[in-house]
Chains A and B, each alone.
Chain A
Amino acid sequence: CATPPPATHIDFAADGRLALRGELDGQKVAETASFRWRRSGEHAEIELGSALGETQARLAFDPQGAEFTDSKGNKLQASDAESLLQGATGYTIPVTPLRWWIEGRTAPDLPVSDDQTASDGSRRFAQAGWQVSFGVPAPQYPKLIQLKRDALDVRIAITEWP
């Protein structure tokens, strides 16, 4: 399972909101959430909250495994974050490659196609089965990220990089 985080040296931090829309198994779905994303080395920890801001769940993952904690303190573990999040929320969110996308990069170990960067710095590419687009970087990281796959549209807006 996910090893405990190393000393609290934070290599990357982003707070923001996420909106997910579309269809899943023929049903219209819509979710909005807030999140706090922290990464120390290859250990990532995401606190998920409601749009009103209170925390409702926590997902921790690293290459060894993933752990999901719900608001009642129940813990679920799995070898990868995607299947864990799918089991806990019913949604397929590509968190493992998102670890790179949220920092404005493509995942190094996965093929990338149709990779185009516009003059304003915004960028689009396809990876891990998703159409990914970064908004204009502000200043270094994308402030807006959009993920599209089949009938699912995920929009991520970063508020700040504390």
Chain B
Amino acid sequence: DAISDLRTFLAGNTSMQGQFKQTVLSKQAGAKPAVSSGSFAVQRPGKFRWAYASPYEQLIVGDGKQVWLYDADLKQVTIKQVGAALDASPAAVLAGEQIDKQYELRNLPGKDGLAWVLATPRNSESTFRRVEIGLRGSELAEMVLYDQFGQTTRVAVSQLVVNAKIDAGQFRFIAPKDVDVVRE
């Protein structure tokens, strides 16, 4: 079933890379979907790189100990300890140690040609209420994250490459000269 496919997919793939397209829709009056896209890389457990290319350049890198949040327009990189920052985000779901530890999993009916798993964060402090993970065959295809304000973040994954060697430098961040480094 979808849950066992998801567990197999995560356990069997220590590394994954691909492109993503993110659509955020809030319930706010007059809200229009905010679309962004970029590339990602994950080295399980704990290491990930989530690079937004458009409409603005933002990079989130985790090396398992700390997370760098770099915003090019703001010329600032914030360094956070893992945990609080990673909490529940697309990267966390993929890079997380053991999905069952962080999420309670339940099978959902198939939809849009995908098999779906409902992942409810076990940590009640999580800023996401629920996460739905869609698999095409046994491969990750989509994630939908619902936050406490009814906003949905839909992440569609494409050009997925698994178990390829990823250069360790992908999971470190060196701040450009004119960028303020802020440690939290």
Q: Which residues of B contact A58 (CB under 8 A)?
A: 149
Among residues 145 to 171 in chain B, which have CB atoms less than 8 Å away from a CB atom of chain A? 145, 147-149, 151, 153
Bound Cα distance A71, B151 (Å): 12
Q: Does B127 contact A (CB under 8 A)?
A: yes
Q: Which residues of B contact A144 (CB under 8 A)?
A: 73
Asked whether A19 lies within 8 Å of B127 as measured between CB atoms, the reply is: no
Q: Does A5 contact B (CB under 8 A)?
A: yes
Q: Does B136 contact A (CB under 8 A)?
A: no
Contact of B182 among A18, A30, A49 (CB under 8 A): A30
Asked whether B56 lies within 8 Å of A159 as measured between CB atoms, the reply is: yes
Contact of B32 among A18, A21, A162 (CB under 8 A): A162
Asked whether B151 lies within 8 Å of A54 as measured between CB atoms, the reply is: yes
Asked whether A157 lies within 8 Å of B29 as measured between CB atoms, the reply is: no
Asked whether B60 lies within 8 Å of A51 as measured between CB atoms, the reply is: yes
Q: Number of A interface residues at 8 Å Cβ cutoff, please give it.
A: 36
A134 CB → nearest B CB, Å? 14
Among residues 30 to 74 in chain B, which have CB atoms less than 8 Å away from a CB atom of chain A? 30-32, 34, 55-56, 58, 60, 69, 71, 73-74
Closest residue of chain B to A37, judged by CB?
B28
Bound Cα distance A88, B183 (Å): 22
| Majority-rule SS of B interface residues | loop
Among residues 90 to 110 in chain A, which have CB atoms less than 8 Å away from a CB atom of chain B? none
| Majority-rule SS of A interface residues | strand
B173 CB → nearest A CB, Å? 14
Q: Does B13 contact A (CB under 8 A)?
A: no
Bound Cα distance A56, B126 (Å): 10
Q: Does B112 contact A (CB under 8 A)?
A: no
Q: Number of B interface residues at 8 Å Cβ cutoff, please give it.
A: 35
Q: Which residues of A contact B28 (CB under 8 A)?
A: 36, 38, 45, 47
Segment of A8-16, A76-84, A115-123, A125-133 in the binding face: A8-16
Given contacts A30-B184, A53-B24, A162-B34, contact A40 B153 (CB under 8 A): no
Q: Which residues of B contact A38 (CB under 8 A)?
A: 28-30
Bound Cα distance A115, B58 (Å): 32
Q: Which residues of B contact A21 (CB under 8 A)?
A: 76, 180, 182
Q: Does B8 contact A (CB under 8 A)?
A: no
B3 CB → nearest A CB, Å? 24
Q: Which residues of A contact B183 (CB under 8 A)?
A: 30
Given contacts A47-B149, A51-B58, A55-B147, contact A32 B34 (CB under 8 A): no
Given contacts A30-B78, A162-B34, contact A54 B182 (CB under 8 A): no
Bound Cα distance A120, B151 (Å): 37
Q: Which residues of B contact A45 (CB under 8 A)?
A: 28-29
Contact of A157 among B24, B34, B56, B153 (CB under 8 A): B56
Given contacts A10-B30, A38-B30, A73-B148, contact A19 B76 (CB under 8 A): yes
Asked whether B78 lies within 8 Å of A32 as measured between CB atoms, the reply is: yes
Bound Cα distance A45, B149 (Å): 13
Q: Given contacts A40-B29, A52-B89, A71-B148, could you give 5 more A-B pairs where the C-beta distance is less than 8 Å?
A: A19-B76, A19-B78, A21-B180, A55-B147, A56-B148
Residues of B within 8 A of A (CB): 22, 24, 26, 28-32, 34, 55-56, 58, 60, 69, 71, 73-76, 78, 85, 88-89, 127-128, 145, 147-149, 151, 153, 180, 182-184
